Amino acid sequence: MKRVIAVMMMVAVALLLALPAFADDHPSDQPLKLGFDMGYRPFHYYDEAGNAVGFGVDVSNEIARRLGRPSMEVVDVNWSGIFAGLFAKQYEAIFWTLNITEERAEFLDYTEPVMDSGLMMIAREADAATLNSPDALEGYTIGVNAGSVADGWVTDNGTTYGFSVVRYDKIDDTVLALITKKIDAALAQDATMSTFIQEKPGLSKAFVISPATNFGLGHAGYSFGFREDDPYRYEVERVLEGMKLDGTLRSLMAKYFGLPAPDDYASMVFVGYGCPGLRAFEPNLSHTPYFPE
């Protein structure tokens, strides 16, 4: 009898070890919990009724549905603390608006690229024609969201071009500072700034920055980020590829931005898992994109 019990215990342990490694961190019966810095229109922001809305929210809800999760839960966190929250397991992943950078790839496991990205400098209409390039920024004050890719650009280029920087916790605060003349210009995601220009009279585009990549992709883009060695990345990437191939991602983009270009990452499925040219890229792991029944 003891031998039978011992064998049963060994079988039970083996079964437990065979369960998906993401069972505890990504419970299938609970909402998909994601970290967002709310306010980045039109990706993720609150409407007048306090509901989380936007392109990134729509995409994330669809991913949760295809994963079999009951819903998607927004955890609103300032971008300056978003990575710390991920490592503390306050949420499962960061989907939007996570730019692909070599620095971040050292501590995040990226999925394949999701869509193209870029940066736009905006100013008040009276100043936009003057502030039409980085060379024109000397002596001016630029506002950014702390910890963002825009923050990285101004940090790297402030001395070169002679401008000063003010950092804000939320992009809404950055734009409000521009409107109230506390700063001279503001830098953030191009799609976000285009939306603010449409919604806030008196603001205008100054110029666009298209950061070049050093890892073989040719242009900047967004991806989804996970804790290192989190196997749930594979599940999400299969779903993402299915959404690219069946036209769902392009359809959602058309709703908010217009149809993406043929060479936009939203139209491209990559081999293996992860972002080519960066750590955690696994080109030899063949798989099938996931399409829900």
- What does the pLDDT look like over 47-74, one tens digit per residue? 999 999 999 999 999 999 999 999 999 9
**119-209 is classed CATH 3.40.190.10:** yes
Element at 212 (helix H, strand E) = none
10, pLDDT greater than 80: no
Closest alpha carbon to 146 in 165, 128, 168, 172: 168
120, pLDDT greater than 80: yes
8, pLDDT greater than 80: no
- Which range among 12-26, 187-201, 219-233 shows the weakest confidence by mean pLDDT? 12-26
Q: If pLDDT is split at 50, 70 and 90, which confidence band does 17 have? A: very low
Q: Which two three-digit tokens encode residue 221?
A: 């883009």
Percent of the chain exceeding pLDDT 90 equals 88
Distances (CA, A) of 269 to 94, 182, 242, 249, 251: 20, 44, 9, 12, 16
Q: What is the pLDDT of residue 293?
A: 73
When the pLDDT of each residue in the chain is averaged and rounded to a whole number, the result is: 92
pTM: 0.88
Q: Calculate mean pLDDT across residues 189-193.
A: 95
Whole-number Å distance between alpha carbons of 287 and 290: 9
Which residues, 6+ apart, have CB-to-CB distance to 274 below 8 Å? Answer: 109, 110, 111, 112, 233, 237, 280, 281, 282
Q: If pLDDT is split at 50, 70 and 90, which confidence band does 210 have? A: confident
Task: Count Cα atoms within 13 angstroms, Cβ side, for 231.
Answer: 7
**25-116+216-267 is classed CATH 3.30.390.30:** no
Q: Calculate mean pLDDT across residues 110-138.
A: 97
Q: Calculate mean pLDDT across residues 227-247.
A: 98
Domain ranges in the chain with CATH number 3.40.190.10: 25-116+216-267, 119-209
Q: Calculate mean pLDDT across residues 142-171.
A: 97
**Distance of alpha carbon 129 from its chain centroid, rounded?**
31
Q: Calculate mean pLDDT across residues 234-262.
A: 96
Contact yes or no for 136/226 (Cβ under 8 A) = no
